[in-house]
Amino acid sequence: MFEKVLIANRGELALRIHRACREMGIRTVAVHSEADANAMHVRLADEAVCIGPARSAESYLNKQAIISAALITGADAIHPGFGFLSENADFAEMVELHGITFIGPTAEQMRLLGDKITARQAAIEAGLPITPGSAALESVEDARVWANKIGYPVIIKAKDGGGGKGMKVAFSDEDIAEAYTMAKAEAKAAFPSDVVYMEKYLQHPRHIEMQILADKYGNVIHLGERDCSIQRNHQKVIEECPSPALNQSQRQEIGQIVCNAIKKIGYQNAGTLEFMYEDGKFYFLEMNTRLQVEHPITEAVSGIDIVKEQIRIASGAALGYTQEDIQFRGHAIECRINAEDPDTFAPCPGKITEWHAPGGLGIRVDSEIYSGYTIPPFYDSMIAKLIVHAKTRNAALMRLRRALEEFIIMGVKTTIPLHQNIISQHEFIDGQYNIHWLTEYMNKHQKKA
């Protein structure tokens, strides 16, 4: 087992990883930018190294600085968290070349699954259900031919894309030229490659993702699904586990299919397979080769500490249990609390003058915020995650309502009122929503600016 782990991340996740290490008797190294010198995990970690100025490019994305910090402090392993360098295969490779363990999959597994076209190919060969689609598109004419083969509507996507950038939908031959050209241009501007491909467009899917854990010996288990359909502009707002749309037999079926696929692909550590779910069918979208923001709802329902499992797997331990040992209990819901204007979503950094987090049975608040802390303007606006867990979905909704009422954050605007609004809508209460619902709801009820 590792003696010392360097946490190559910031904010609530850095604290979360520190906590797992602490409980495992592993010493921690916190790396931070100049702007994060006062962060809680920096104070709690055994050692702290300033790796550069506030700008992420010069600190949290600075591969050399992070590896130097690991070498100087003698860290055995680096946990990348999510975002930043967590899915950067070159970084994973550099870390391993320096004799340090990267807590995650191998660089080649990252490369295979990070490229949307090779990932789709791997998914097909591994038996995952997928939307009808094309290989890399060569020209507008090629796009038109494929679109008529697949059948409109179609969506054109960048192979290195993500988060909705470089995606264009076409409903007929009239749209295809513009969709192809725009998607390619956006891809060129935003990603390493401007290669684009096409899929059959699903018009009202839910976004359901499966959490898996795989050790270095071919053992794979799944920890159930998360429904992440409540999102706006590709930013998740509320996630829940299990999905209100699935029944037990569907869960077992997709779980089995996913585990078999991961065994065939050959993968190690934690991973999440994203699907679109429409009219009772799953369609593989992409695989995330990292820990996800919303992992706590899976932890609540399965009782498994996913970060500890990541560390154990990276240290060479075999999974300590089989699929039959995993029990799912109750229902969990996560609200992402952002320092943003709840109506305009404009980021709203600043000094927290009052902080009172809710408590009680089944409440978890993951955050680094404390009274007097000043939120820096350089990073993502998420400042806390509120996770509630209860026996049933209705009980979880009641608990969530109560917890949001108790949550006091003064000094900055937050999205707490937005969450209170969403969970009082009957489409949410009935669990009848798809990926477009929140955007449509917001547009309908947008305060006239």
Catalytic annotation, residues: 290
Rounded to a whole number of angstroms, the minimum distance from the CB of residue 172 to ligand MV4 is: 16
Q: Which pair of tokens denotes residue 286?
A: 């992409």
With binding defined as CB under 6 A, does residue 245 bind ligand MV4? no
Rounded to a whole number of angstroms, the minimum distance from the CB of residue 31 to ligand MV4 is: 29
- Where in 280-339 is the site for ligand MV4 (CB under 6 A)? 285
Q: How far apart are CA 14 and CA 367, in angstroms?
A: 10
Q: State the number of binding residues for ligand MV4 (CB under 6 A).
A: 14
With binding defined as CB under 6 A, does residue 272 bind ligand MV4? no
Residue 416's closest CA among 350, 335, 356?
335
Q: How far apart are CA 226 and CA 274, in angstroms?
A: 9
Compute CA distances 338 → 295, 332, 383, 440, whole Å: 17, 19, 5, 20
Q: Which stretch binds ligand MV4 (CB under 6 A): 3-11, 200-208, 391-399, 405-413?
A: 200-208
- Where in 101-140 is the site for ligand MV4 (CB under 6 A)? 131
Residue closer to ligand MV4 (CB basis): 33 or 131: 131
200 bridge partner residues: 154
Residue closer to ligand MV4 (CB basis): 195 or 348: 195
Helix (H) or strand (E) holding 240: strand 235-241
Rounded to a whole number of angstroms, the minimum distance from the CB of residue 131 to ligand MV4 is: 5
Among 127, 132, 151, 164, binds ligand MV4 (CB under 6 A): 164
Rounded to a whole number of angstroms, the minimum distance from the CB of residue 161 to ligand MV4 is: 7
With binding defined as CB under 6 A, does residue 168 bind ligand MV4? no
Among 204, 234, 356, 402, binds ligand MV4 (CB under 6 A): 234
Residue closer to ligand MV4 (CB basis): 9 or 288: 288
Compute CA distances 318 → 47, 100, 202, 409, 439, whole Å: 29, 20, 39, 42, 43
Residue closer to ligand MV4 (CB basis): 164 or 359: 164
Q: Which residues contact 27 (CB under 8 A, 6 or more apart)?
A: 3, 4, 5, 21, 46, 47
With binding defined as CB under 6 A, does residue 155 bind ligand MV4? yes
Residue closer to ligand MV4 (CB basis): 201 or 355: 201
With binding defined as CB under 6 A, does residue 149 bind ligand MV4? no
With binding defined as CB under 6 A, does residue 199 bind ligand MV4? yes
Q: Which stretch binds ligand MV4 (CB under 6 A): 20-28, 201-209, 317-325, 425-433?
A: 201-209
Residue 233's closest CA among 131, 340, 133?
340
- Where in 46-75 is the site for ligand MV4 (CB under 6 A)? none
**According to DSSP H, which parts of 126-247 are helical?**
140-150, 173-190
Residue closer to ligand MV4 (CB basis): 42 or 208: 208
Residue 173's closest CA among 214, 140, 138?
140
In whole angstroms, how large is the CA radius of gyration of the chain? 22
SS3 (DSSP) at 439: helix
User: How many other CB atoms are found less than 10 A from the CB of residue 426?
Assistant: 7
Among 111, 159, 207, 385, binds ligand MV4 (CB under 6 A): 207
Q: Which residues contact 417 (CB under 8 A, 6 or more apart)?
A: 342
Residue closer to ligand MV4 (CB basis): 201 or 433: 201
User: How many other CB atoms are found less than 10 A from the CB of residue 112?
Assistant: 20
Site string for ligand MV4, 418-447 (x = CB under 6 A): -----------------x------------
Q: How far apart are CA 277 and CA 275, in angstroms?
A: 6
Interacting residue ranges for ligand MV4, rule: CB under 6 A: 131, 155, 164, 199-202, 205, 207, 231, 234, 276, 285, 435
